[in-house]
Copies of this chain bind each other. A is one copy, B any other.
């Protein structure tokens, strides 16, 4: 569909941090001093299942997919957009290996922090501990939202919801991925799209 690239969202790391939980200058500085901005090129898997992942990432620009691999099935749990945190959950919580693979679907800018250093901060600053608490709480809400969608809504409704929220996602992500995210086959998604016209 030769439309050319769509303008995409961008977010500064400090804004991402502050949006989770406001911090005083000193705490903010401590967090920022641990952070490192990286560019991840298209189709790079930067968090891999079964491998320890040292970092928590915050997406500033681009789009990623979080997916699980099981036997020969691959299922997309979520897409990440600017402003969102990306982690290997079990790794972050227990320090063990996790299930998630996370791949940049476009060349993306993200800021990362070493989880071990972050956890030191958690132990030494009440404000940052509460920041980490809020981060976790928002993740709960995000994943609960996803589960509710899956439990309550048909694939067709979930598709509508997705394009309402991210209107140009079909121009940035191939339909096979979107079908996987919705939990249906690509054939079913094609049928849904055919009935929506």
Contact = CB atoms under 8 A, between A and B. Distances in A.
A70 B129 CA distance: 36
Interface string A74-116: 0101000000000001101100000100000000000000000
A130 B137 contact: no
B147 A143 contact: yes
B133 A123 contact: no
Contacts of A146: 147
A8 interface: no
Nearest to A119: B130
B92 A137 contact: yes
Interface size bucket, A side? 20 to 34
A151 B181 CA distance: 9
B93 A137 contact: yes
Interface in A11-33: none
B152 A73 contact: yes
A92 B89 CA distance: 21
A46 interface: no
A159 interface: no
A73 B165 CA distance: 25
Contacts of A93: 137-138, 140-141
B148 A147 contact: no
Interface in A111-163: 122-126, 129-130, 132-133, 136-141, 143-144, 146-148, 150-152
A52 interface: no
6 contacts: A75-B151, A90-B141, A129-B129, A129-B133, A136-B139, A139-B140
